[in-house]
Amino acid sequence: MAQLILGQLLNGAIVGTLYGIIALGVSLTFGITGIVNFALGVFMMLGAYAAWYLTDTLHAPYPLAVAGAVALVAAAGWIADQLLFRFTRNDLVNGLLVSIGLIAALEGTALLAWTSTPKEMHHILPGVFFALGLVVPKMKLTVFAILLVAIALTQLALTRTWMGRAAYAYAQNAEAAQLMGVHTGRLQTGVMVYSTALAGFGGALYASLYSLEPTLGSLYVLKAVEAAILAGIGSIAGALVGGIILGVTEGVGSIYLPLAFRDAYGLIFLVAVLLFKPSGLFGGRR
Amino acid sequence: MRTLAWAVVAALFALLPLAVHSDVVLTVLVFACLQGMLAASFNLIFGFTGQLSMFHAAAFGIAAYATHLSMEHLQVSFWIGTLLAACLVAVLSLIVGSICFRFRLREFYFAVVTLAFSEMARLLILNWNSVTNGSLGINLQEKPTVWWPGAGVVKLDGTVPWYYVALAGLALTLLVCHRLVHSWMGRCFAAIRLNDALGDALGINVFRYKLAAFMVGSVIAAVTGSLYAYYLGSIEPGFLSVDQSLAIVAMVLLGGRRSVAAPVFGAFLLTALPHVIHFPAEVRSIVYGAILIATILLLPRGIYGTVSAVLRRG
Amino acid sequence: MLLEVRGLTKRFGGLTAVANVSFGIERGEIVAVFGPNGSGKTTLLSLIAGMMRPTAGTILWKGAAISEWQAHDVAAGGLVKTFQNPQLFMELTAMEHLLIASHLALKRRLGVRRLLTLLGAHAGGAQAAAAQDDIRRHAEGVLALCRLQVAAHRKAAELSYGEEKMLGVAMALMCEPELLLLDEPASGLGAAEIENLEAVLHDLRAQGVTLCVIDHKVGFLGKLADRAIALHHGARIAEGSPAQVLADPQVVEAYLGRRHA
């Protein structure tokens, strides 16, 4: 039994990191552009399909495929920002509606292009690790490590680089940041592009572990938003923790209760947290 | 003056089956009326009270299943079954609404929680095979029956009788929405939508009236779901999908958010569209998505809003 | 005593906005609250009106403890507050604002029976019709009192700042308050508008409405108020007649600095 729980804990942590990287994008976007970008889910999906296409059809080496996927998705994110999200800054409802519209349009396009037949990437890193009596696929652990590094780098970038600190300042006090010379338009576009790139990155890594179908992003983004709210939307560091908490809760919960309802646990936990601490576990000012 | 115009419109619609004999057209109109009920009731919550509920499709779908189940297991008539389903949805929306509104969570949390709840409900229905037959859905053999003067108990079968049922449902929905919006409660909704802190300071119990709008709208969606399922002859988990919610939002945005009847216009347009231009299901999503985006960015007041603004200026 | 505040305290993290304030207001009085910016005046009124919960202390309204009440219940109890920065319903006309503000008035006249009016404007019988006419007339009276008749059918977005502030007062009046809490009603107003405001407050007092008015502009309330209290850094530093309070050395120091005391 302990093995099972441990296994689910680990699995949950890994899935949670995927939630976390998207939740990071959600939090960043909310903090800087004032909307919750549900479309990050489709960008994750696009990243996954792009990586799959680049590895399996164009036979690019996997790391190059990931880089390519991230670049493509970032470009798509930039286009979406210029055409759509630029007009819904700080407008939560319209931003939500536009993202939902974008999701419908892009999922439909993906469905047309690749059909709903699941696509599987060939194994990048076959084989397993044996640790603590558990069998862990090597690729899963690698993805886990890469995601953690990516998130850590983002945190570092936010605190050390000029752009990052500008973003932080803006999130605290938009007007003051503007007066200090932060070019807010570029900052907002930059954050949009960065968060879509993060989502694309997550998707590209996802493709190496699971099978792809056009709606893969929607469940992930919902979980990511739940994780971001759980942690306190606007809390950058909290996003990862929120994601992992969610992933682990689901994983462990599904041992005791029917698997089919796994997706409900996150919601129940989230609602419970919001009832007692409306600003989320780590949320403060907002 | 306006009442007269509406009376004329109502009369025209009532007399339509005498002139139009095409079954296809009538069928489309039945669906359009039912979608219109969904759109108008959703607008009560969204356009007038300012709450983006992603629960509407869930109310619609849950009620359909609930009606069928109560007819099957409790041996009640369609109408009692619908009543029971409506009560179930009322209780569910009371719970969900209370959770979301009690703590004055930000509006978009309401959208997220209702979205997540709807997904949960859909998954529940999808997986509870013993009761709901899962992804296969349920085929409804029975038809509702009505007592008709002169003919006794008659089955509601065939397009024309259903046309009148749907039309009556739509008329009733519009009446209810109109009455609410133009009453003191409608003023509370407006206050909540425009500045709920001010409304609170003026003595309006914001929680209570948000909940009222949410419950009334959801119950109307429930009744619609029941009618829709029995007209269509089948129910499946897709009734509760995000796609269905999205379609409702698109109809309202297209028609116009500030009018009681304009969402119905949006509903008619979007229901007729796939019959005028035939496209496969995937393209339908793309079209809905594009319409949603286009209306938000280009026609934020919907067709009705834009047209009336132009007329006022002209 | 209509309103009594005992030991009211509000802390936001490390900042103490209101520190152990106690005072009372008798029916029919006009009480002024003075104090420089940041002295906690608005927070004090917000606490009383139920817009936030106190960290400590009690608020007694007509003998009942109301510190845990929600803002709408406090308003329903007869204690209404206006906003320092005018809060409005941007798309609506002034008259529509007043109709929304008539919510409590309708509730008091009809109680549960107002649900009948949902069925139809004329359902609910003669009593409902009479109540609604009464409210319409009251709204027109309030508009006249606040000198807002010309603006009645203009949208809120088109009003001048002075008109916006008066609309805030007008809405509060529609709630039929026993005690009206006015948060800096004169700030941002020109001389003519202040005279207008003074006249309105005189009329209100004549009608039996008790008033508690915050103002930063000392001259305005000096003539009008019966009593005054002064706040500084959240604490009450003086109480008495306006003349007494304004002459109090601590108050002068708070406003003008040590050299002038």
* Residue of B108, B131, B246, B284 best to disrupt the A interface, most CBs of A under 10 A: B108
Which of A229, A263, A278 faces B112 most closely, judged by CB atoms? Answer: A229
- Nearest Cα of chain B lies from the Cα of A47 at a distance, in angstroms, of 19
Can you tell me which residue has the tokens 């909307």? Answer: A35
pLDDT greater than 80 at residue C107: yes
Closest of A216, A174, A196, A203 to residue A25, by C-alpha:
A196
Domain limits for position C112: 3-260
Answer yes or no: do C175 and B202 touch at CB < 8 A. yes
**SS3 label, residue A133:** coil
What confidence category does residue C259 fall into, taking pLDDT thresholds of 50, 70 and 90?
low
pLDDT of residue C119: 81
Alpha-carbon gap, residue A59 to B170, rounded angstroms? 57
* Residue of B189, B198, B215 best to disrupt the C interface, most CBs of C under 10 A: B198
**SS3 label, residue B155:** strand
For B1, counting Cβ atoms within 10 Å of its Cβ (0-12 exposed, 13-18 middle, 19+ buried), the class is exposed
Q: How many domains does chain B have?
A: 1
C15: which 2 tokens? 């900042």
Q: Tell me which of A132-136, B21-25, B54-58, C159-163 is least confident.
A: A132-136
Alpha-carbon gap, residue C148 to B40, rounded angstroms? 36
Sequential DSSP letters for B248-278: HHHHHHHH-TT-SSHHHHHHHHHHHHHHHS-
> What average pLDDT score do residues A15-29 get?
89
Q: How many domains does chain C have?
A: 1
- Measured from the Cβ of residue C100, the count of other Cβ atoms closer than 10 Å reads 25
The reply to whether B303 falls in a domain is: no
pLDDT greater than 60 at residue A284: no
CA distances from C137 to A65, B88, B199, C99, C166 (A): 74, 43, 21, 11, 18
B269: which 2 tokens? 């347009």
Sequential DSSP letters for A104-129: HHHHHHHHHHH-SS-B-PPPSS--EE
**Mean pLDDT, chain A, integer:** 82
CB contact at 8 A, A104 and B296: no
Contacts of B52 in chain A (CB under 8 A): 93, 96-97
pLDDT greater than 60 at residue A178: yes
**SS3 label, residue C182:** strand
Alpha-carbon gap, residue B306 to B285, rounded angstroms? 25
Report the amino acid identity of residue C229: I
Tell whether A257 lies on the interface with B, counting CB pairs under 8 A.
no
> What average pLDDT score do residues A118-122 get?
83
What confidence category does residue A282 fall into, taking pLDDT thresholds of 50, 70 and 90?
low
pLDDT of residue C261: 46
The reply to whether B262 falls in a domain is: no
Tell me which range, B76-80, B184-188, B310-314, C240-244, is most confidently predicted by mean pLDDT: B184-188
Answer yes or no: do B297 and A87 touch at CB < 8 A. yes
The reply to whether B249 falls in a domain is: no
Interior CA angle at A39 toward A35 and A43, to 5°? 135
Report the amino acid identity of residue C206: A
Answer yes or no: do A100 and B296 touch at CB < 8 A. no
B13: which 2 tokens? 């619609």
Give the alpha-carbon dihedral of A243, A244, A250, A256, to 10 degrees.
-160
Region of C155 on the Ramachandran plot (φ > 0 left; ψ -120 to 50 alpha; else beta): beta
> What average pLDDT score do residues A196-224 get?
89
Percent of chain B at pLDDT > 70 equals 98
Q: Tell me which of B204-218, B231-245, C98-112 is least confident.
A: B231-245
The reply to whether B263 falls in a domain is: no
Answer yes or no: do B103 and A274 touch at CB < 8 A. yes
Q: Tell me which of A60-64, A264-268, C141-145 is least confident.
A: A264-268
- Nearest Cα of chain B lies from the Cα of A92 at a distance, in angstroms, of 7
> Nearest-CA residue of chain C relative to B193?
C89
Contacts of A87 in chain B (CB under 8 A): 297
Contacts of C101 in chain B (CB under 8 A): 202
Closest of A28, A10, A20, A85 to residue A226, by C-alpha:
A20
pLDDT of residue A286: 37
CA distances from C246 to C182, C194, C198, C228 (A): 20, 20, 19, 9
Print burial letters for B82-96: b (CB count within 10 Å at least 16), e (below 16): bbbbbebbbebbeeb
CB contact at 8 A, B295 and B254: yes
What confidence category does residue A30 fall into, taking pLDDT thresholds of 50, 70 and 90?
confident
pLDDT greater than 70 at residue A227: yes
Contacts of A274 in chain B (CB under 8 A): 103, 105, 109, 113
pLDDT in tens, C114-141: 888 888 767 777 888 888 889 999 999 9
What confidence category does residue C26 fall into, taking pLDDT thresholds of 50, 70 and 90?
very high
Domain limits for position B210: 24-239
CA distances from B305 to A28, A61, C70 (A): 34, 54, 36
The reply to whether B210 falls in a domain is: yes
- Number of B–C residue contacts, CB under 8 Å: 82
Q: Tell me which of B179-193, B240-254, C113-127 is least confident.
A: C113-127
> What average pLDDT score do residues A120-140 get?
77
pTM for the whole structure: 0.87
Which of A97, A111, A263 faces B119 most closely, judged by CB atoms? Answer: A263
Alpha-carbon gap, residue A155 to A20, rounded angstroms? 13
Report the amino acid identity of residue B305: G
The reply to whether B281 falls in a domain is: no
B128: which 2 tokens? 């509870």
pLDDT greater than 50 at residue A58: yes
> What average pLDDT score do residues B2-30 get?
86
pLDDT of residue B105: 66
Alpha-carbon gap, residue A50 to A283, rounded angstroms? 35
Helix segments in chain B, DSSP class H: 2-19, 23-43, 56-74, 78-102, 107-127, 129-132, 159-181, 184-201, 206-232, 242-255, 262-276, 281-298, 302-313
pLDDT greater than 90 at residue A177: no
pLDDT of residue B248: 92
- Nearest Cα of chain A lies from the Cα of B233 at a distance, in angstroms, of 27
Sequential DSSP letters for C70-85: -HHHHHHTTEEE--SS
The partner residues of B138 in beta bridges, in order of sequence, read B235
In terms of pLDDT, which residue wins out, A90 or B200? B200
Answer yes or no: do B290 and A105 touch at CB < 8 A. yes
Sequential DSSP letters for A211-266: -B-TTHHHHHHHHHHHHHHHH-TT-HHHHHHHHHHHHHHHHHHHHHS-GGGHHHHH
The reply to whether B9 falls in a domain is: no
- Nearest Cα of chain A lies from the Cα of B274 at a distance, in angstroms, of 15
Q: What proportions of chain C, in percent to the nearest 5, are helix, strand and coil?
A: 45, 25, 30
Q: Could you tell me the CATH number of the domain that includes residue C122?
A: 3.40.50.300
Cβ-proximal residues to B9 (8 Å cutoff; 6+ apart), any chain: none
CB contact at 8 A, C76 and C39: no
Tell me which range, A174-188, B7-21, B106-120, is most confidently predicted by mean pLDDT: B7-21
Alpha-carbon gap, residue A25 to A203, rounded angstroms? 13
The reply to whether B307 falls in a domain is: no
pLDDT greater than 60 at residue B297: yes
> Nearest-CA residue of chain C relative to B192?
C89
pLDDT greater than 50 at residue A55: yes
Cβ-proximal residues to C100 (8 Å cutoff; 6+ apart), any chain: B187, B188, B190, B191, B199, B202, B204, C89, C92, C171
Tell whether B188 lies on the interface with C, counting CB pairs under 8 A.
yes
pLDDT greater than 60 at residue B296: yes
pLDDT of residue A285: 42
Going by DSSP bridges, is the β-strand pair B234-235/B138-139 parallel, antiparallel, or unpaired? antiparallel
What confidence category does residue A259 fall into, taking pLDDT thresholds of 50, 70 and 90?
low
ipTM over 0.85: yes
CB contact at 8 A, C179 and C79: yes
Tell whether A2 lies on the interface with B, counting CB pairs under 8 A.
no
- Nearest Cα of chain B lies from the Cα of A99 at a distance, in angstroms, of 8
Give the alpha-carbon dihedral of C132, B44, B251, B304, to 10 degrees.
20
What confidence category does residue A279 fall into, taking pLDDT thresholds of 50, 70 and 90?
low
In terms of pLDDT, which residue wins out, A114 or A286? A114
pLDDT greater than 90 at residue A4: no
Print burial letters for B215-241: b (CB count within 10 Å at least 16), e (below 16): bbbbbbbbbbbbbbbbbeeebbbebbb
Give the alpha-carbon dihedral of B58, B60, B65, B68, to 10 degrees.
170
CB contact at 8 A, C51 and C71: yes
Tell whether C139 lies on the interface with B, counting CB pairs under 8 A.
no
Contacts of B191 in chain C (CB under 8 A): 89, 100, 103
pLDDT of residue A174: 66
CA distances from B16 to B157, B175, C210 (A): 18, 21, 64
Tell whether B285 lies on the interface with C, counting CB pairs under 8 A.
no
pLDDT in tens, B36-88: 999 999 999 999 999 989 999 999 999 999 999 999 899 888 999 999 999 99
pLDDT in tens, A70-98: 999 999 999 999 999 988 888 877 888 88
Which of B179, B190, B197 faces C120 most closely, judged by CB atoms? Answer: B179
pLDDT in tens, B135-156: 888 888 788 888 777 777 888 8
Chain mean position to CA A143: 14
CA distances from B32 to B15, B37, B143, C154 (A): 17, 9, 20, 38
pLDDT of residue A281: 63
> What average pLDDT score do residues C179-197 get?
87
Answer yes or no: do B202 and C49 touch at CB < 8 A. no
Region of A91 on the Ramachandran plot (φ > 0 left; ψ -120 to 50 alpha; else beta): beta
Judged by CB atoms within 8 Å, which residues 222-251 of B form the interface with A? Answer: 242-243, 246, 249-250
Q: Is the dihedral of CA B140, B142, B144, B148 positive or negative?
A: positive
What confidence category does residue C257 fall into, taking pLDDT thresholds of 50, 70 and 90?
low
Judged by CB atoms within 8 Å, which residues 97-116 of A form the interface with B? Answer: 97-98, 100-109, 111-112
In terms of pLDDT, which residue wins out, A91 or B212? B212
Q: Within a 13 Å sphere around the CA of C192, how many CA atoms are in the beta-carbon half?
A: 3
Contacts of B112 in chain A (CB under 8 A): 36, 222, 225-226, 229
- Nearest Cα of chain B lies from the Cα of A207 at a distance, in angstroms, of 23
**Mean pLDDT, chain B, integer:** 88
Closest of C215, C177, C179, C175 to residue C198, by C-alpha:
C215
Cβ-proximal residues to A227 (8 Å cutoff; 6+ apart), any chain: A16, A19, A20, A23, A239, A242, A243, A245, A246, A266
